[in-house]
Amino acid sequence: MKFRGKMTDIICMKQFANIIVTIAKLSKLCVVRLTKDFMYFIIVEENVTVGKPMVWSVLEQTHFFNEYNMAGVSEEQNEIYLEFETDVMARSLSSLRVSHGARSVKMKLTNKKSPCLTFEIQLVSIQLPGLKLLRTIAERMKALSSYIVLLANREGTLILKVETPEATVSTHFKNLTVEDSGGDEENDEFFSARVDIKKFVQFLMSEQVNPNKVLCKIVDDKMVAMFLVHEDIVLHYFLPVVAV
Residue 77: helix, strand or coil by DSSP? coil
Q: How many domains does the chain have?
A: 2
Q: Where are the alpha helices (DSSP H) in the chain?
A: 10-26, 61-64, 86-92, 131-142, 197-204
Contacts of 75 (CB under 8 A, 6+ apart): none
Task: Please identify, among 99, 122, 145, the residue that sits at the C-terminal boundary of a domain.
Answer: 122
Q: Judge if 117 and 135 occupy the same domain.
A: no
Sequence letter at residue 142: K
Q: Residue 68: give the domain boundaries.
A: 2-122
Alpha-carbon 70 to chain mean position: 24
- Does residue 11 contact residue 39 with C-beta atoms inside 8 Å? no
CB 228 within 8 A of CB 235: yes
The residues with which 216 forms a beta bridge, in sequence order, are: 126, 226
Same domain, 47 and 13: yes
Query: How does pLDDT run along the chain (244 residues), one tens digit per residue?
Result: 899 999 999 899 999 999 999 999 988 999 999 999 999 999 887 665 555 667 889 999 999 999 999 998 888 889 999 999 999 888 888 778 765 567 788 999 988 677 888 888 777 889 999 999 999 999 999 999 999 999 998 889 999 999 988 889 999 999 999 876 554 445 678 888 999 999 999 999 877 777 888 999 888 777 888 888 887 778 888 888 888 6
Residues 108 and 133 in one domain: no
Answer yes or no: do 52 and 136 share one domain.
no
Count helices and strands in the chain by DSSP H and E runs: 5, 17
Last residue of a domain, one of 122, 146, 164: 122
Query: Of 58, 92, 122, which one is at a domain's C-terminal end?
Result: 122
* Tally of residues, the chain: 244
